[in-house]
Structure 1
Amino acid sequence: MIAPDLTPTPLAPGSTGIPPREAFHLPAERAAASDARHRVRAWLSRKDVSEDARDTAQLVISELVTNAVVHTSSTSISCVLQAVRGQLRIEVRDQGGCATHPVPRDATMGDEHGRGLLLVETLADTWGVVHGERGKGRTVWAALPAHSV
């Protein structure tokens, strides 16, 4: 899947004083999802977006970070939040080390795991995967609906 244009634009009128992009690096450890959620909430709070939009963005980044931590051999991950054409774009880049392409799967009622990308697919306008050069890492991204930001 080809990633959309990444030209940053403000999320809403009056938010031009706040950078339209936030980037941070985290160690690839289970606690990274919690740290990412806090960073997303803080950035979006400064942008004065709705509580629902902040909750949705936190859920999406949590799922993407967790997948990068659990399903790759990465030691660190990078996260980018961008205001793009009235949407919030969330990107999580890992270092690779996973033989499979991330896809939503059907988890059974008793499964404790396996619903993360299904949630992302449901909440996002679109999402995708961009593989790094020479198979080094990948970026999983999601664009949240304009009405939620």
Structure 2
Amino acid sequence: MSTTRAYACIALTPQEVERWPDTPVASVLATGRLRSRSTTLRLPAVDRAVPVCRYLTRLWLDQQHLTDEGVRHTTLLITTELATNAILHTNSSVITTDLQQNRSHLRIQMRDQGTERTVRHWHGDSGFGRGLGIVANCTRALGTHVERDGTRTIWATISLTPRRASLSRTASTHRAQTTDEVT
């Protein structure tokens, strides 16, 4: 019987991200390295890191045996939006994604180095982009924390209960249709 580790940390170099998935670490990860209920992904803050982060999140969901399509879709959407925002709107050199699961929910945290390119807060500015608005609408809870050194963490919680998951799926499908109509 295999045991599940309590924590895993995956750190990729800029070279590994650029060559992804043609790296030795990609094949090691596919063999079960992300089975732990809590995983940290440390990636360089480059555009190519977004699909790599999404891939690693999908792999983690697979290895957690989370098969509900609403939960999966919402988790991947949130991870993608938060990684994109950290890369586009900060001068960070590294972004860190924490994925945690317990019986009732998933928590996704995206940490950047907090050096903003523009000062804009999702909760206090009516002109914020639609990415964080979408995230806010499909989560059970969303928040941000800024450390004294400027490091910022944005976190989102997704419910794993069937009723909440189906509501998230319905809401995200509706928002996706609305977003497609607007653009």
C-alpha displacement at 1:81, in angstroms?
Answer: 0.1
- Paired amino acid for 1:129: T
- Equivalent position of 1:5 in the other structure: none
- Pick one of 102, 105, 116 that aligns with 2:121: 102
**Which residue does the alignment assign to 2:159?**
145
Match of 2:77 in 1: 59
Matched, 1:70 2:88: yes
Alignment of 1:8-87 (within 5 A): 18-49=35-66, 50-87=68-105
Alpha-carbon offset, residue 24 of structure 1? 1.1
Task: Please tell me the residue identity of whatever aligns with 1:63.
Answer: E
Name the stretch that deviates more: 59-68 or 26-35.
26-35
User: Residue 142 of structure 2 is aligned with which of 116, 127, 136?
Assistant: 127
TM-score, length basis structure 1: 0.76
CA distance in 2, matches of 1:102, 1:137: 14
Please list every run of 5 or more consecutive structure 2 residues that lacks an aligned counterpart in the other structure: 1-5, 7-34, 167-183
Larger radius of gyration: 2
Q: Does structure 2 retain, via aligned residues, the 8 Å contact 1:23–1:78?
A: yes
Identical aligned pairs, as a percentage? 33
2:25 maps to: none
User: What's the TM-score, normalizing by structure 2?
Assistant: 0.63
Select the structure with the greater relative contact order (CA < 8 A; seq sep ≥ 6).
1
Q: Tell me the CA shift for residue 100 of structure 1.
A: 2.6
* CA spacing shift, 1:106–1:31, aligned 2, 3 Å: farther
Distance in structure 2 (CA, Å) of the matches to 1:119 and 1:36: 19
Shift in Å, 1:85: 4.8
Letter in 1 for 2:64: K
Q: 1:135 is paired with a residue of what secondary structure?
A: coil
Shift of 1:34: 0.8
Large movers: runs of 4+ above 6 Å: none
* Equivalent residue pairs, number: 127
Which deviates more from structure 2 when the two are superposed, residues 68-77 or residues 97-106? 97-106
Tell me which protein shows more helix as a share of its residues.
2
